[in-house]
Amino acid sequence: MKSAFLEPYYSGSHKYFADGFAKSFPEQIRLFTLQGRHWKWRMHGSAVTFAEMIEKSAEKFDTIIVSSLTDAALLKSLILPEMPQTRFVAYFHENQLAYPWSENDKEPCKTDMHYAFINFTSALVSDLALFNSEFNKESFFSALESFLRSFPDNRLTAKIDSVYKKSKVLYPGVNMIPKSPDKNNNCLKILWNHRWEYDKDPETFFKTLFRLKESEIPFKLVVLGEEKSTTPEIFKIAHEKLKDETVYFGYAENYEEYKKLVASCDIQPVTSKHEFFGISVLEAASAGVIPILPERLSYPEIFPLEKFGKLFYEEGKLFDVIKNFLENPDFSIRNEVSERASFFDWNNFKQKAEKLLG
């Protein structure tokens, strides 16, 4: 089977998944990418660009896999005349029905439903729709009927069932990070290794650490990630206010350095407002870093509550949970956390993907 994987936003977790997918099927996958910027324009225009790229390649594909920021319906209309037997698969890293909007968005789309509709039609015309978690899939379908009913007539709700039946979950693979043999538990290290963006709620994260410092509770801090033009101001404030606690603050020089820094940490408090999967959390967990998680989004799915309930905090209780852990460290669950992360190892991904893709 010869397949094309089309990623219009080749950056961050989208790049991570596209590269890992292609590496898992080195003889079968041809990767086509566009730069990871201007996501709204990618949803409008990437289908045309990709159709041109495939035409220029002069290759025929049995399967075309498109990420959720491509208009699969438009792409299919352009490609199908030349490849009528090609199967189309849509892969949803996120869905626009459940994605939180930023108040700082220069082009706010709270009332513009077109992006969510592209997600719907992409799933509708594809032969298979894959979501990166059950949470992603169910959040899409739980909002879909009311979304379609918001239109004036011919509301298309009768199509929901057929789309749901061809929708499955394919978790991304995760790079495993070896555990560090020399943890220093005299002063525990707290980790941030998410994107520096509003939807990860850095305000809550850093303000909780400010309270810890004011309470004279000792800790060290590792902040990983890249500063961008849209980076929330709280990162600059935290860099100054927590300079005495900071071990590292910024983008790691290379992936080996990143792994070493992650593995040196002890706990990872998570404050995200949005998470459809959780690659950064699982990378850290694989190294034995204990996550402290909100009981929402994808986290109860990634770390099932019946086994990992002690990892979760109630809303408004993050400070108390971190304070208690720093004062009374308990690493008894570290091996179980690491073993759970290994379920998502890229080495296990190929078999799962083959089972779904056929």
Domain region containing 294? 189-342
pLDDT surpasses 50 at 111:
no
pLDDT surpasses 90 at 256:
yes
Average pLDDT, the chain: 94
pLDDT surpasses 50 at 129:
yes
> Which CATH number characterizes residue 209's domain?
3.40.50.2000
Q: Does some domain include residue 23?
A: yes
Looking at the structure, tell me whether residues 95 and 234 fall in a common domain.
no
Looking at the structure, tell me whether residues 211 and 134 fall in a common domain.
no
pLDDT surpasses 50 at 237:
yes
Q: What is the mean pLDDT of residues 297-311?
A: 97
Percentage of the chain beyond pLDDT 70 is 95
63-67 and 220-224 as β-strands: parallel, antiparallel, unpaired? unpaired
Looking at the structure, tell me whether residues 153 and 246 fall in a common domain.
no
**pTM score, whole prediction:** 0.93
pLDDT surpasses 80 at 336:
yes
Range scoring the smallest mean pLDDT among 59-73, 104-118, 136-150, 233-247: 104-118
Question: Considering 136, 170, 204, which residue would you say is the last residue of a domain?
Answer: 170
Looking at the structure, tell me whether residues 70 and 198 fall in a common domain.
no
Looking at the structure, tell me whether residues 156 and 227 fall in a common domain.
no
Long-range contacts of 230-238 (CB under 8 A, 24+ apart): 230/104, 230/197, 231/196, 231/197, 232/196, 232/197, 232/198, 232/202, 232/203, 234/202, 234/203, 234/206, 234/207, 235/196, 235/202, 235/206, 237/206, 238/202, 238/206, 238/209, 238/210
Looking at the structure, tell me whether residues 141 and 231 fall in a common domain.
no
Q: What is the mean pLDDT of residues 262-269?
A: 97
* pLDDT interval class at 109 (50, 70, 90): very low
pLDDT, residue 6, reads 98
Looking at the structure, tell me whether residues 204 and 294 fall in a common domain.
yes
Q: Does some domain include residue 184?
A: no
Each residue of 18-42: pLDDT tens digit? 999 999 999 999 999 999 999 999 9
- Cβ neighbours for 315, distance < 8 A, ≥ 6 positions apart: 294
Judge whether 29 and 5 are in contact, CB under 8 Å. Answer: yes
Question: What is the count of structural domains for the chain?
Answer: 2
Q: Does some domain include residue 177?
A: no
pLDDT, residue 229, reads 80
> Which CATH number characterizes residue 51's domain?
3.40.50
pLDDT surpasses 70 at 108:
no
Q: Does some domain include residue 322?
A: yes
